[in-house]
Amino acid sequence: MSVKIIVGTQWGDEGKGKITDMLAEQVDLVVRYQGGNNAGHTVVVGPNTFKLHLIPSGILYESVQCVIGNGVVVDPEILLEELGRLKEQGVHVTPDRLKISTIAHVILPYHKFLDSQQEEGRSAGDKIGTTGRGIGPAYTDKISRTGVRLLDLLDKEGLKKKCEAHNWPQAFQDRLSIDDMVDQYFELGQRLAPFLEDTSLFVNDAIQAGKRIIMEGAQGTLLDVDHGTYPFVTSSNPIAGAACVGAGIGPHKIDQVIGVTKAYSTRVGEGPFPTEEHAEMGEYLRDKGCEYGTTTERPRRCGWLDMVVLRYAIRVNGLTEICLTKLDVLDGLKKIKVCTGYKWNGETIKHFPLDPKVFGESEPIYDEVPGWDEDISGITDFDKLPVNAKNYIKYVSNLAGIPISMISVGSKRSQTIHLLERH
Ligand code: IMP
């Protein structure tokens, strides 16, 4: 038996999709436990590029079953579109291969409407830069105990009552009446019905049967609604602890927690980012790393690797190892900066500051390590890496205090260096 959690250690977009895809080859089940279609994974397999938002990337292996757990918020239309696109690309997803929790909450049209209204209503410095997918309002309804769950879509009368109880503003109902919405969502529910299941029971049975399982987190640690850079966060908990809640399993079932860390940092949307590079270096990383959002195509803000953030992610997730991604993007740099601490108000800060004012005003303290000229994107053996690339990896691993188990040097499955034997 083995249950591994994969989490992002930065602001999302660390390359979790590729790492999940790589590890999925050796597992039976991949479970998504939070977030919604605000996430996006791009997985390149041979000549095909798959863009996934809700369905775990494990779906690309025929032998792997996938689960969308109760902690996810599901936009039924988007999910069905994603299933349709996969079919067009030759991946036929049957209900045997994809199980969706009956009690996952639904993103309704009103949630998307409200998400953009709220964002428009925020003044310049307060904007969050949400993906506009209705994520925050859907989780708000969940926590307020007024949400609609997937099983509710199967009961037309009950669904109508729940929607009417909301008293949605007339401005919204002028666009879409409750009756039309109920018809539409009942129909979507019928199409999803074959996939709906008690996924906690399903996952626990799989654990009991000794199956190998990956729990896949979306977004990243610094976007966690509790532990991230609040309020510039998403409305769920991407951190490892949430995997138990979002899938309905006990903490003692988890064996490993793998953190995915990009060799530099990126952030989409607003919020503090101490190691951000505003000038040429930021642009260089964005262009070389193709740093544009999979979901919204927005350019990502780019900067150097921040060890204060990484050490914090190691702590709050209980990471047991790190997968370092996009190392090839650093090829050709004479010097590589790594932030080892912050200066704030004359003090040196080593631990992630919880006060957003302090984090926002922190100045990074950098170490500089020598870079390498060679193109490493074709290297699959650690020993063949340029000496400075090896030194960089050892340096990061030493500062992190946990092993780096895998290094990604390109988007293809083959562009990976394995450093630990997997069992
Ligand atoms: P929301 O999740 O759409 O509410 O957006 C809240 C914040 O999280 C915004 O800054 C988004 O850009 C960011 N965000 C949400 N999902 C992702 C993701 O998958 N990758 C990176 N940033 C994300």
pLDDT, one tens digit per residue, over 129-184 is 999 999 999 999 999 999 999 999 999 999 999 999 999 999 899 999 999 999 99
Q: Ligand 1 in contact with 219 (CB < 6 A)?
A: yes
| Cα–Cα distance measured from residue 86 to residue 302, given in angstroms and rounded to the nearest whole number | 31
Residue nearest to atom 5 of ligand 1 (CA): 130
Phi, psi of 278 (to 5 degrees): -85, -30
| Cα–Cα distance measured from residue 219 to residue 314, given in angstroms and rounded to the nearest whole number | 16
> Which one of 219, 270, 273 would you pick to mutate in the ligand 1 pocket, going by the greatest count of ligand atoms within 8 A of its CB?
219
Is the pLDDT at 192 greater than 50, yes or no?
yes
Residue 423: what pLDDT? 44
Q: Ligand 1 in contact with 52 (CB < 6 A)?
A: no
In the reported structure, the alpha carbon of residue 75 is separated from the centroid of ligand 1 by a whole-number distance in angstroms of 16
Is the pLDDT at 189 greater than 50, yes or no?
yes
Closest residue by Cα to residue 7 from 318, 415, 331: 318
Is the pLDDT at 360 greater than 80, yes or no?
yes
Q: Which positions are annotated as active-site residues?
A: 13, 41
Is the pLDDT at 347 greater than 90, yes or no?
yes
Q: Ligand 1 in contact with 135 (CB < 6 A)?
A: yes
> Which one of 41, 126, 130 would you pick to mutate in the ligand 1 pocket, going by the greatest count of ligand atoms within 8 A of its CB?
130
Q: Ligand 1 in contact with 6 (CB < 6 A)?
A: no
Q: How confident is the model at residue 1 (pLDDT cuts 50, 70, 90)?
A: low
Residue nearest to atom 2 of ligand 1 (CA): 234
**Amino acid (1-letter code) at residue 291:** E
Per-residue pLDDT of 85-122, as tens digits, reads 999 999 999 999 999 999 999 999 999 999 999 999 99
Q: Ligand 1 in contact with 129 (CB < 6 A)?
A: yes
β-strands 301-303, 265-267 pairing: antiparallel
Residue nearest to atom 1 of ligand 1 (CA): 130
For 197, counting Cβ atoms within 10 Å of its Cβ (0-12 exposed, 13-18 middle, 19+ buried), the class is: middle
Closest residue by Cα to residue 55 from 27, 36, 77, 71: 36
How many alpha carbons lie under 13 Å from residue 50 in its C-beta half-sphere? 29
Residue 296: what pLDDT? 82
Strongest mean pLDDT among 21-25, 46-50, 317-321: 317-321
Q: Ligand 1 in contact with 73 (CB < 6 A)?
A: no
Starting at the edge strand found earlier in the chain, the sheet holding 256-262 runs 196-197, 98-101, 65-68, 29-32, 212-216, 2-8, 256-262, 321-325, 404-408, 416-418
In the reported structure, the alpha carbon of residue 375 is separated from the centroid of ligand 1 by a whole-number distance in angstroms of 32
Please state whether the predicted TM-score (pTM) of the whole model is above 0.75.
yes
